[in-house]
Chain A
Amino acid sequence: MRDVAVEVRGLTKRFGTQVAVDDVSFDVPAGRIVGFLGPNGAGKSTTLRAIVGLTAPNAGTATIHGVPFHDLADPARTVGAIVDGVGFHPGRRAIDELRIAASTAGIPHHRCDEVLELVGLAAARRKQVGRFSLGMKQRLGLAAAMLGDPRVLLLDEPANGLDPEGIQWVRAFLRYLAEDGRAILVSSHLLGEVARLVDEVLVIRQGRIVAHGTVDALTAAAGGTTVLVASQDDAALAAALAQRGATVTAHNRGLRVEGLDPADVGAAALAAGVVLTELRAMTPELEDVFLELTAGGGIA
């Protein structure tokens, strides 16, 4: 039996007649990073908000290590979260926001400076949150989530609105947290954004889980990796690739190869004696996965 950090069973939330979350069930095992993917309005935020008790579900349960959020003896040390709609007072200094959280949770105040250091905001500790950039606010959110050094993290689009550098920083930060064996549920619109980070992926669409599995399994469901390749002799390369069973089509000034992974494409070029000028693997976008999932059966 695997140790389950977050267990969601039959979770349903309606807003009026609209079903935002529809009978959703999944586990986040301890020590794993699970990507929670879905387009706008799919129900990601509502699900996360229900797990931390901000939204009361119409049906179903969510537990952290077997305990509903409301009954956690020490919530801050059990689960940290960045949730939609949870913010900071713009007129307050960063350090005050953290001290408020720390006092509420019975966490010593020196921990506030530790988490600011951890997210690289030590220099801005006395700055008002209203003067923070979006990226700094996201970091402060992560700092607040990390105050109690929880083993479970629920992060709703932590990279939302960040520039490429910021996204990279968030990724590196999550990887650092995960290496410590934490369970992390992180939501995103884009498979590509989390593909290299997560152990498994949950796909939600119109309130329903439509896929749950590893990134590889999802990618396979979406038709496998696409490789874009260009060479000094595309005709010869196309022939060599076709011989290995790939579907090859012309693409810009090169070839689009489906059915082979990048290493196979390289090997085929080597065997054919063709010099490659470009080789790029394309992870399918979430949209592709959706198309595949709606066209045929999903993966379980």
Chain B
Amino acid sequence: MGLIAAEIRKLASVTTTWVMTGIGVVLILLSAGLFLLLPEFGLGEFRGADPQLAFLVEQVGGASIVVLIVALLSMTTEFRHGTIGRTLQLTPSRTRVVVGKFVAGTLYALAFLVIGLVLVAILAGIGALTAGVGLDLAWQTLTAIWFAGVGLVLTSWFGVALGSLIRSQVVALTVTLVWLFVIEGAMLTFVPAVGRWLPFNALNAVLLTNDVTTPMGGPSPQLLDPLVGLATFLGYVAVTAAGAIALMRTRDV
């Protein structure tokens, strides 16, 4: 329990966490807000319909990069500033240290989900009032919330694992972002048969499940089926997490 409390304080006591969360808030407000304000973007006239709400919820998962970076930094900053040494002196079991990070990442991911859902609820509320319609919250929206939650939690685990495997903060961030935005994007466009099986594209299949097909957003036809994507991403997370724990247990700090 103390370990988890300490991990939460580690996150809360550095500015980066708050700045990243702020960026996440802006991302969600921008994307959900734009879809509401500009029907021609693909959401259509807002009627408060279930698929439309689900689509707005997906904008929370769309900001998953924030959870990824916060989780990754939770590990790399420890190496960067040498706080890992004290962490390990106080908790000699290295497995426990990594698991503590997974739990803290989970809590952050869930907190981010809640913040995102509140933002979306406010925007949807405003949209409904303006349009004079009610909100038809049903299974599609609930499914989107569930996938967003699962996707964000797994994202945080992936971030922690990557941060443990690539300890250098600069290298870890650069490699992850280049991989995410350049390599996976290019692979999905040019070799979709392979690209869709890559980790972040598999994750996107989880986070962007809604079948509101739009010119700007919505699921790309290239992506895997959500559940297949989930299983695939889970596989990546399991392998990297196991690698992270194994490496932590053997490496000098």
Q: Contact residues of A with B, CB < 8 Å?
A: 49, 52-56, 69-72, 75-76, 81, 83, 85-93, 96-97, 99-101, 103-106, 144
Asked if B13 and A56 make an inter-chain contact with CB atoms under 8 angstroms apart, the answer reads no
Shortest Cβ distance from A19 into chain B, in angstroms?
A: 15
- Tell me the bound Cα distance from A87 to B5 in angstroms: 20
**CB-contact partner of A70 in B13, B92, B250, under 8 A:** B92
Asked if A103 and B14 make an inter-chain contact with CB atoms under 8 angstroms apart, the answer reads no
Q: Considering only CB atoms, which chain B residue lies closest to A83 in the complex? A: B85
* Known contacts A55-B252, A88-B81, A91-B14; is-contact A104 B92 (Cβ 8 Å): no
Q: Considering only CB atoms, which chain B residue lies closest to A85 in the complex? A: B82
- Tell me the bound Cα distance from A85 to B88 in angstroms: 12
- Tell me the bound Cα distance from A96 to B83 in angstroms: 13
Contacts A54-B252, A89-B77, A103-B6 supplied; 5 other A-B pairs, CB < 8 Å: A49-B252, A71-B92, A85-B82, A91-B14, A103-B3
Shortest Cβ distance from B151 into chain A, in angstroms?
A: 29
- Tell me the bound Cα distance from A52 to B82 in angstroms: 14
Considering the complex, which residues of chain B in the window 67-114 have a beta carbon less than 8 Å from any beta carbon of chain A?
77, 81-83, 85-93
Shortest Cβ distance from B64 into chain A, in angstroms?
A: 24
**CB-contact partner of A92 in B13, B90, B92, under 8 A:** B13
Q: 4 closest pairs, A vs B, by CB?
A: A86-B85, A87-B82, A103-B6, A96-B13
Asked if A104 and B253 make an inter-chain contact with CB atoms under 8 angstroms apart, the answer reads no
- Tell me the bound Cα distance from A75 to B154 in angstroms: 32
* Known contacts A76-B90, A85-B82; is-contact A104 B2 (Cβ 8 Å): yes
Shortest Cβ distance from A244 into chain B, in angstroms?
A: 53
- Tell me the bound Cα distance from A88 to B77 in angstroms: 10
Asked if A144 and B86 make an inter-chain contact with CB atoms under 8 angstroms apart, the answer reads yes
Interface residues contributed by chain B, number (CB under 8 Å): 26
Q: Does B15 contact A (CB under 8 A)?
A: yes
Give the interface SS of chain B, mostly helix, strand, loop or mixed.
helix
- Tell me the bound Cα distance from A87 to B83 in angstroms: 5
* Known contacts A89-B14, A93-B13, A103-B9; is-contact A75 B92 (Cβ 8 Å): yes
22 inter-chain pairs at a CB distance below 8 angstroms, sorted by A residue, are A54-B88, A56-B252, A70-B92, A70-B93, A71-B92, A72-B92, A75-B89, A75-B90, A85-B82, A86-B83, A86-B86, A87-B81, A87-B83, A88-B83, A89-B13, A91-B14, A96-B9, A100-B9, A103-B6, A104-B3, A105-B2, A106-B2
- Tell me the bound Cα distance from A106 to B86 in angstroms: 14
Q: Contact residues of B with A, CB < 8 Å?
A: 2-3, 5-6, 9-10, 13-16, 77, 81-83, 85-93, 250, 252-253
- Tell me the bound Cα distance from A49 to B2 in angstroms: 25
Asked if B91 and A104 make an inter-chain contact with CB atoms under 8 angstroms apart, the answer reads yes
Asked if B89 and A91 make an inter-chain contact with CB atoms under 8 angstroms apart, the answer reads no
Asked if A90 and B2 make an inter-chain contact with CB atoms under 8 angstroms apart, the answer reads no
Shortest Cβ distance from A112 into chain B, in angstroms?
A: 12
| Residues in A whose Cβ lies below 8 Å from that of B86 | 86, 101, 144
- Tell me the bound Cα distance from A174 to B73 in angstroms: 36
Shortest Cβ distance from B99 into chain A, in angstroms?
A: 13
Q: Considering only CB atoms, which chain B residue lies closest to A79 in the complex? A: B89
Shortest Cβ distance from B164 into chain A, in angstroms?
A: 16
| Residues in A whose Cβ lies below 8 Å from that of B9 | 96, 99-100, 103
| Residues in A whose Cβ lies below 8 Å from that of B83 | 86-89, 97
Shortest Cβ distance from B165 into chain A, in angstroms?
A: 18
Asked if A53 and B92 make an inter-chain contact with CB atoms under 8 angstroms apart, the answer reads yes
**CB-contact partner of B92 in A49, A69, A86, A89, under 8 A:** A69
Shortest Cβ distance from A138 into chain B, in angstroms?
A: 14
* Known contacts A75-B90, A103-B9, A105-B90; is-contact A54 B85 (Cβ 8 Å): yes
Asked if B250 and A104 make an inter-chain contact with CB atoms under 8 angstroms apart, the answer reads no
Q: Considering only CB atoms, which chain B residue lies closest to A53 in the complex? A: B92
| Residues in A whose Cβ lies below 8 Å from that of B16 | 91
| Residues in A whose Cβ lies below 8 Å from that of B81 | 87-90
Shortest Cβ distance from A140 into chain B, in angstroms?
A: 11
Q: Considering only CB atoms, which chain B residue lies closest to A92 in the complex? A: B13
